[in-house]
Chain A
């Protein structure tokens, strides 16, 4: 079965650079969620989109923005990167907010040097 695809798997950026993370949800899933997991921390919700509209927002820094496209894939754009942005970034998808099919991608490991 198709899973949630995240790219890239690993990313190394320098401070003050920009990074773009991509998430391709499971077919027929129309809702995407982004989470950030710092070292030794639990995943923290950043933002979600349903039908290309932002549906919920967590502790997402102003330097970060995200959007969902017509094919339901989503991109998380991170600007003016800081060392503290180094983390695992997970994307999850579902059909509407039905948690029965909630599925996480394998994550993108971002390292800021």
Chain B
């Protein structure tokens, strides 16, 4: 069975602070994908990143960066210099060979001006 745990239910920061969202996963599959999605109040799931299990390179995209560590089964997400527009619910998800995704419980991020 697949499992994704996001330890932080809610995070509140002030604009320009850096914030890291934690994600830990469990799977017996050797081939899998990890995702991060942003869900603003409007409700749609906005794709942020996909990483496969064989690619442990960290990635940076603008103010966003991701740290994938297979040894600790973690795929953490950092927002540098947070902005009010980053306020949303963020989901980490795990996908395996059957195609369905298993989501974490989500982290509500609030960035105050």
Contact = CB atoms under 8 A, between A and B. Distances in A.
A62 interface: no
Given A99-B33, A99-B50, A94 B99 contact: yes
Interface residues of B, number: 21
Interface in A66-113: 88, 90, 92, 94, 96-97, 99-100, 102-104, 106-107, 109
A109 B95 contact: no
Interface residues of A, number: 25
Contact of B44 (A48, A92, A100, A107): A107
B76 interface: no
Nearest to B104: A42
B103 interface: yes
Nearest to A31: B99
A96 B33 CA distance: 15
B99 A55 contact: yes
Interface of A: 31, 33, 35, 42-45, 48, 55-56, 58, 88, 90, 92, 94, 96-97, 99-100, 102-104, 106-107, 109
Interface of B: 33, 35, 37, 43-45, 47, 50, 52, 91, 95, 97-106
